[in-house]
Chain A
């Protein structure tokens, strides 16, 4: 299992400004390691964010996203106390979900 994400959300009125940092190598399949072997493709291909269990943001991504990806997005209709969970899944089937509670 991968390292936890770091999720930060600030509320501006009813809009939550969400930033998330994921820990992932995002290998392009083009890089070679020290002994000259190609490092195989390994990247996050889908991301879903849910607010109180309802999907509010979805992304399909390729290996062109930088290593240890950072994303920011905004969610309307959020309020303090809401639960925001973010899930990613990579092309090797590894996945991780982290949840935060929105602050005031």
Chain B
């Protein structure tokens, strides 16, 4: 299951030596690591619920986020996606695949690198819009692009 830093710190003894060892690695001084995804968002079964869990509901539709993705993906297990935000002060980019069993794909913090760009490969279970939410100046903006899938990416 998910290992949460806080839980690990609190109950390392109960959770066993292996987990404790991992925790020791986690809290190395001076090295900050990215947090695991928001659990409620990761377990949400709809994009709306996941967005609510992330606090980005009610995002404004925009044309200033460019999603490059194939119109038709032959293999849903590997769908390359490129996202570029043209909104000034874009801080983070969150990705959802609406019709996946768990739509939330991830959040990418681009505020420190200074370039609001990320490329990744996602699984798309069936033809679905790929939705992107960008946070800029504390406000969410969203856009989506439909990807058609001929072979599913989830399950075997």
Name the A residues within 8 Å of B121 (CB-CB): 65-66, 69-70
A66 to B34, CA, bound (A): 19
For B106, give the chain A residue with the smallest CB separation.
A61
With both chains docked as a complex, state the minimum distance between the C-beta of B114 and any C-beta of chain A, in angstroms.
3
How many interface residues does chain A have, given as a range? 35 or more
Contact A64/B36 with A28-B154, A69-B121 known, Cβ cut-off 8 Å: no
Q: Collect the chain B residues with CB atoms within 8 Å of residue A69's CB.
A: 120-121
Tell me the bound Cα distance from A31 to B77 in angstroms.
12
Contact bitstring A52-95, B, C-beta under 8 A = 1, else 0:
00111111111111110111111111000000000101011101
Q: Which residue of B lies closest to A56 (CB)?
A: B113
Asked if A61 contacts B32 (CB within 8 A), the reply is no
Inter-subunit contact A61/B155 (CB<8 Å): no
Is B37 on the interface with A (CB-CB < 8 A)? yes
- Does the CB pair B37–A75 fall under 8 Å? no
The answer to whether B34 and A46 have CB atoms under 8 Å apart is: yes
A98 to B72, CA, bound (A): 34
The answer to whether A71 and B34 touch across the interface, beta carbons within 8 angstroms, is no
A-B contact pairs, 27 of them (CB 8 A): A30-B101, A41-B1, A45-B36, A46-B35, A46-B37, A47-B34, A48-B33, A59-B106, A59-B107, A60-B34, A60-B36, A64-B100, A64-B102, A64-B103, A64-B104, A64-B106, A65-B105, A66-B123, A67-B77, A69-B121, A70-B120, A72-B120, A73-B117, A76-B113, A87-B33, A91-B3, A92-B3
